[in-house]
A and B are shown apart, each in its own frame.
Chain A
Amino acid sequence: MTKLEIEAGNSSPSVRFDPESGLLEIGGESYPENSKEFYRPLIGWIEEFLEASSQPVTLRLTVTYMNTSSTKYMIDILDRLEAAHDEGHAVAVEWHCDAENGRALDTIEELKEDFEMPFEVISEWREPDEW
C-alpha cells in the first residue's frame, strides 16, 4: 500500500499513514462540513491495511478539537483497531493532549475506558494559542 497523506484544512485534521512504519497520525481540529465524507474513506483505508498487513499499527492522535460527529467516527476507528487487537494484531494508541486543558484530558480518559488495547494518554505543554 502507498503512503496516505491528507493536508489539514480549516476545519479538518491532517492525516498521515506510513505503511512501512505502521504509524497513523491524525492531528489538528476536526469539525468538517461533512464528517462522513471525511472519515469514511480513511476508515476504509485502515480496514484495508489491517487485512492486508500484519505490520504493527500505532495510532498517534494530536487532535486538538473534535466535534461530536467527528468523535463518533474516531470511536469507529478505535473500534476497528480494538477488533484487530482482539485478533492478535499489534496495535497501540497514543493520544496527546494539552496539559493545561483538563477537560480534554477527561474526555480522552473517558473514551479510553471502553478499550482493552494499549492506549496511552500523553499530556504535554502547548503554546498558549494552541490547545
Chain B
Amino acid sequence: MANFDILSLRTIFEDQNVMICFNGPFSHSVIEQLGEAVKNYLRSSEAPKDRIADVFSVFVEQAQNLKNYTTRTDLQSVQHSSGAGGTLAIAHEGENYIVSSGNLVQSEDVARIRRYIDPLLEADKGELKRMYKQRLREPVEQEEGAGLGFISMARKAVEPLRYSIKEQPDGTMFFNISVVI
C-alpha cells in the first residue's frame, strides 16, 4: 500500500499518550499475550499493585467482551473485512490510566448495551456494590455475559464510565467504552 504511513500512526499514538494498542481480531491467545505485556509494562512503572491489578482487570473484561462479541457468527454481515475485530488501547490521561475499546455492534444490540451501562453512570459506590453482588448471585446459566463486567469496570473507575454509540456513514454502529483508573 503506497499510502501506508507508520510515522503518522506513531504520531497519533504519541499525541494521545498510548501505551499499548491492539486493533484486529481478538483471540484468547491475543488476550493472554497482550495481558502479559500490559502487566510487564505497568510493573516497570511506579504504579502501585492495586492500580496495576485494576488496569489489568479492566483490560481483561474489555478484551473478552470484544472477543465474545466479534466472534458471534450472526455478526458476519456487520463485520465486513475493514471492520472485523475490535480496537483496544491503554493510555495515560493526566495522572490516570485510561482503558478504552471499541467495536462495531448490531443496531439491535444498542438498547441492551444502554440498559447495562446507563444505570451505572449515576450509581454511587454503595449502589454499584449492591448491583455487583446481585448480579454475581444470578444463576450462572442466565448470565448474559457483559453485564457483570461493566459493573466491575464501573467499580474500579475513578470517574463515571464514558461510552458512546455512533452511527457510521455505512449505517453500522460503533460502540466505545472508556474507563479511567
Task: Say if A and B assemble together.
Answer: yes
List B contacts of A10 (CB < 8 A).
Answer: 29, 32
* B interface, CB within 8 angstroms of A: 28-29, 31-32, 35, 43, 48-50, 52-54, 56-57, 60-61, 64, 129, 133, 136-137, 140, 143, 148-149, 152, 156
List A contacts of B28 (CB < 8 A).
Answer: 11, 33
Which of A14-22, A86-94, A95-103 has 4 or more CB atoms under 8 Å from chain B? A95-103
In the assembled complex, A7 has its CB within 8 A of some CB on chain B: no
In the assembled complex, A65 has its CB within 8 A of some CB on chain B: yes
In the complex the two chains form, what is the Cα distance from A46 to B98 in whole Å?
40
B129 touches A76 (CB 8 A): no
**A31-B60, A75-B136, A100-B48 known; A68 vs B32 contact (CB < 8 Å):** no
List A contacts of B152 (CB < 8 A).
Answer: 68
**A11-B28, A75-B136, A128-B43 known; A67 vs B53 contact (CB < 8 Å):** no
Top 3 A-B pairs ranked by shortest CB distance? Answer: A33-B28, A103-B50, A68-B148
List B contacts of A103 (CB < 8 A).
Answer: 50, 53-54, 156
* A interface, CB within 8 angstroms of B: 10-11, 31, 33, 36, 65, 67-69, 71-73, 75-76, 98, 100-104, 110, 114, 128-129, 131
A36 touches B140 (CB 8 A): yes
A67 touches B129 (CB 8 A): no
Neighbour of A100 across the interface among B43, B49, B148, CB < 8 A: B49
**A71-B136, A102-B50 known; A110 vs B129 contact (CB < 8 Å):** yes
In the complex the two chains form, what is the Cα distance from A10 to B28 in whole Å?
10
List A contacts of B143 (CB < 8 A).
Answer: 69, 72
* Residue of chain B at shortest CB distance from A103: B50
A65 touches B137 (CB 8 A): no
